[in-house]
Amino acid sequence: MSLALGCDEAALDLKNLLKAHLEAKGLVVKDFGVHTSAPAMYPDIALEVSLEIAAGHFDRGILLCGTGLGMAITANKVFGIRAATCHDTYSAERARKSNDAQILTMGARVVGSELAKTIVDAWLASEFQGGGSTAKVERIKQIEKKHLRGDQ
């Protein structure tokens, strides 16, 4: 599995910790930054990671900022992306199993490092289950097609 990883300055330490955690598991991780504590525009990082995933260059992505919320809002502006902010393992599992979310966002000011690793592990271990959720994910795609692409 290949992963795209990005953050703003508020989550730099958490990003570095998670990158080491993921690489220790043998996963391929591309770090899209930031790499310093200088103030950064998190929407630019979220956009870059989301475009890479939408293009199929990576299987999944993890975006980190102070709360995870701004990253998710921005990522969800990219056609084909479903990003979910998760601060517990149940939400992380459901984001994959029910919503087929390709991007996990978290807040470095919300979760501690050990919990963050557990959330990431739960999210990575989960796959879309289909079933009753398939029609719902397809409806999300229809709404997205109409409203993000302007198809009337």
**Residue 89 CB burial class (10 angstroms; 0-12, 13-18, ≥19):** middle
CA torsion angle for 22, 28, 34, 40 (degrees, to 10)?
-100
Catalytic residue of the set 62, 63, 65, 124: 65
Cα four-point dihedral sign 13, 45, 123, 21: negative
86 is catalytic: no
Please list the active-site residues: 65
